[in-house]
Amino acid sequence: MSGPRRWRRAAVQAACVAVTLFMGVPLYLITLAALSSRESLNRFPLPLLPTDPSTETMSTFLRSTGVTGGFINSLTVGLGTVVLALLVGVPAGYAVARYAFRGKDTYQLFLLLVRALPIVVLSVPLARVFLDTGLYDTTYAVMLIHTALALPTTVLITAAIFVGVSREQEEAAMIFGASAPQAFLRVVAPQALPGIAAAAMFAFMLSWNEVLGATVLTLNQRTLPAQVLTTLSDSPLAYRFAGGLALVLPAVVFIAVMRRYLLNMWGTTLR
Amino acid sequence: MARKRARVPAAVLLIAPSLVVMTALFAWPLLVGIGQAFSGPDGPTTAYLRRMADDPYFWPAVRNTALLVVVLVPLQFAFALTMALLLRERPRFAGAHFFIWVIPLAVSDLAAGLVWLSVFADRGYLNSTLDHLGLDGYAWLSYENTTSMFLTVVVAELWRSTSLVLVIVVAGLQGVPKDYDEAAAVFGATYWQRLRHVVLPQLRPSLQVALILRTILALETFAVAQALTGRNLPLLVGETYQWYNVLQNPNVATAIALVVLAVSMLAAIGYLRLLRDRTVTR
């Protein structure tokens, strides 16, 4: 009995290591590529170990036209998206969690529809709208479409969080004379804060990663991914690798911070 | 009763801003888009649609996109299920493995394309490894090798987007009580029997959601292929990008975008129909 069992354990371990290699090695390689000198990237075969690490490729990328601006625009758009999505999404999430109202099912279906349909492909007609309203080629334009993208998830996540905050405490505060907004700010908000932070990070990441809408809606105010995408075809490999690492790094940090929340977020929001 | 009635406006007030934002950014461009795609300078026209359909890149893009969905989605579901079941065996370092497996969840499609470009480029890491092993390299991304180009996009997308399915499936598995599984084991069911008749049926809701999401997201694939192959492997959303940014023709770009939207909507409705019918007969 213990023989086959041990084999089974070993096979599971080996399979886990294999999957981890498949998922992890590309991350290692892009880091290696982005931290090699331009000269060593021209060598063939490429060394598979960091023989002479150099920041040359990375610093050349960071100094290229549009990259610093792209960073700043990406940050602006990301933070703006977070603020807008929370401002609009948190009240809605609270309503979904606490109130029974007519049309609630329809509203939730609408959320799912907006979440599921590829609304970024509507960036092209949206560019027309923004051209007419003077919003085209501004960070606000990109913020707006990213907010629309992030909203359904923000509402669903925050709703899941508010369901978890005890209603009795809120009502107790109101009995002792707090108004509804006061009760929300003093009692509910502190308890919901970690979850809201998770929703905020999710919105930021979504905005940081989105490329099609950002490319279509801007000309000069490119976000970082839009800048990398539009200069892709006429830039050397070293630039592309450095751009790849610059885009991947925040993702690793994001997952490291959010690991605890991931399952709750997807588990509760999707059912 | 009076209190309950007073609450209705509060809820409506709270959800109203989100409704306005989503409608403004979804319905409005949709209407403008339909106008853009179907009306020219002198009234309604199908000229843009014809131009789209006559473009030599359009039908290959349709074919590639369809093929990508058909190949990628089943493959990544098998992969994600395997990963989730491996984690369920409680391997050593499960936490560390899971961390690495979900990192791509936050990696953008453009970044994933660039990551795999370092692997598949002519003088990239895969050919370097082959060379170290004394084997000949291969031009994975050459426009002459359509199959290998397609495969590189599948691998990159498998790497990037499987983690979404994984997280949904793992979250779903947490909701499956272990008792059933253990009971089946006590009665002598083999691992495969338990998987087929106990675990998978309970995972069905999670799998359904993941299936709808991933099918629609796979229809949208574009930056991965753009980073790996440029326009050599055309995909539908990539063509929207080309027509808008490079060829500067928003009308045809919108026509293609509407095609993507329509197909996505059909896919969503189709799945919901199919799955609802199943649940009724179950």
Mean pLDDT of the A23-46 span: 89
Q: Which of B12, B13, B19, B22 to mutate to test the interface with A (most CBs of A within 10 A)?
A: B22
Which residues is A36 bridged to in the sheet? A53
Window 186-245 of A, Cβ < 8 Å to B = 205, 208-212, 215-216, 225, 228-230, 232-233, 237, 240-241, 243-244
Q: Which of B108, B212, B216, B235 to mutate to test the interface with A (most CBs of A within 10 A)?
A: B108
A48 → closest Cβ in B7, B125, B240: B125
Burial of A108 (0-12, 13-18, 19+ CB in 10 A): middle
pLDDT at A206 over 60: yes
Residues of B in contact with A39 (CB under 8 A): none
Nearest residue of B to residue A12, measured between CA atoms: B86
Domains defined along chain B, listed by start? 60-281 (1.10.3720.10)
Of A31, A64, A97, which residue is a domain's last? A64
Within an 8 Å CB–CB cutoff, is residue B176 touching chain A? no
Q: Which of A122, A154, A158, A171 to mutate to test the interface with B (most CBs of B within 10 A)?
A: A122
pLDDT at A187 over 70: yes
CB contact under 8 A, A91 and B36: no
Are A42 and A94 within one domain?
no
Q: Enter the DSSP assignment of A232.
A: S
Q: Which residues contact B256 (CB under 8 A, 6 or more apart)?
A: B52, B58, B236, B237, B239, B240, B243
Q: Note the ipTM here.
A: 0.87
Q: Quick one: tokens of A100?
A: 């029974």
What confidence category does residue A163 fall into, taking pLDDT thresholds of 50, 70 and 90? Answer: confident
B205: preceding bond cis by omega (within 30 degrees): no
Of A34, A64, A94, which residue is a domain's last? A64
Cα–chain center distance at B29: 23
Domain containing residue A219: CATH number:
1.10.3720.10
What domain count does chain A have? 2
A127 → closest Cβ in B159, B250, B268: B250
Are A211 and A122 within one domain?
yes
Nearest residue of A to residue B227, measured between CA atoms: A232
Neighbours of A36 (CB within 10 A): 24
**Nearest CA distance, B74 vs chain A (angstrom):** 18
Are A244 and A260 within one domain?
yes
Q: Which of B98, B118, B166, B214 to mutate to test the interface with A (most CBs of A within 10 A)?
A: B118
**What are phi and psi for residue A53, nearest 5 degrees?**
-65, 145
Window 31-60 of A, Cβ < 8 Å to B = 32-33, 42, 44-48
Rounded-to-integer distance, Cα A39 and Cα B37, Å: 48
| Enclosing domain of residue A208 | 65-269
Nearest residue of A to residue B80, measured between CA atoms: A19
Residues of B in contact with A210 (CB under 8 A): 108
Window 139-178 of A, Cβ < 8 Å to B = 144-145, 147-148, 151-152, 155
What confidence category does residue A190 fall into, taking pLDDT thresholds of 50, 70 and 90? Answer: confident
Window 102-121 of B, Cβ < 8 Å to A = 102-111, 114-119, 121
Nearest residue of B to residue A119, measured between CA atoms: B26
Within an 8 Å CB–CB cutoff, is residue B75 touching chain A? no
Are A172 and A94 within one domain?
yes
**Nearest CA distance, B172 vs chain A (angstrom):** 7
Are A9 and A107 within one domain?
no
Range in A31-40, A49-58, B273-282 with the lowest mean pLDDT: B273-282
Q: Going residue by residue through chain B (282 aa), what tens digit of pLDDT does each one get?
A: 444 555 457 888 898 999 998 888 888 889 989 988 888 887 888 888 898 989 999 999 999 999 999 999 999 999 999 999 999 888 888 888 999 999 998 899 999 999 999 999 988 999 999 998 989 888 898 888 889 999 999 999 999 999 989 988 888 888 778 888 888 888 888 888 888 888 888 888 888 888 888 998 899 899 999 999 988 999 999 999 999 988 889 899 999 999 999 999 898 888 878 876 655 444
pLDDT, residue B26, reads 87
Q: Which residues contact A53 (CB under 8 A, 6 or more apart)?
A: A35, A36
Range in A81-90, A176-185, B213-222 with the lowest mean pLDDT: A176-185
Are A140 and A251 within one domain?
yes
pLDDT at A153 over 90: no
Of A64, A83, A113, which residue is a domain's last? A64
pLDDT at A11 over 70: yes
CB contact under 8 A, B86 and A15: yes
Are A45 and A95 within one domain?
no
CB contact under 8 A, B82 and A15: yes
Are A96 and A11 within one domain?
no
pLDDT, residue B129, reads 92
Mean pLDDT of the A21-45 span: 90
Within an 8 Å CB–CB cutoff, is residue B275 touching chain A? no
Residues of A in contact with B30 (CB under 8 A): 122, 125
Are A197 and A256 within one domain?
yes
Rounded-to-integer distance, Cα A254 and Cα B60, Å: 37
Residues of A in contact with B104 (CB under 8 A): 23, 251
Within an 8 Å CB–CB cutoff, is residue A132 touching chain B? no
Are A258 and A159 within one domain?
yes
Are A193 and A117 within one domain?
yes
Are A146 and A192 within one domain?
yes
pLDDT at A143 over 60: yes
What confidence category does residue A207 fall into, taking pLDDT thresholds of 50, 70 and 90? Answer: very high
**What are phi and psi for residue A133, nearest 5 degrees?**
-100, 5
**Nearest CA distance, B61 vs chain A (angstrom):** 15
Nearest residue of A to residue B9, measured between CA atoms: A101
pLDDT, residue B8, reads 55
B29 → closest Cβ in A46, A102, A122: A122
Nearest residue of B to residue A14, measured between CA atoms: B91
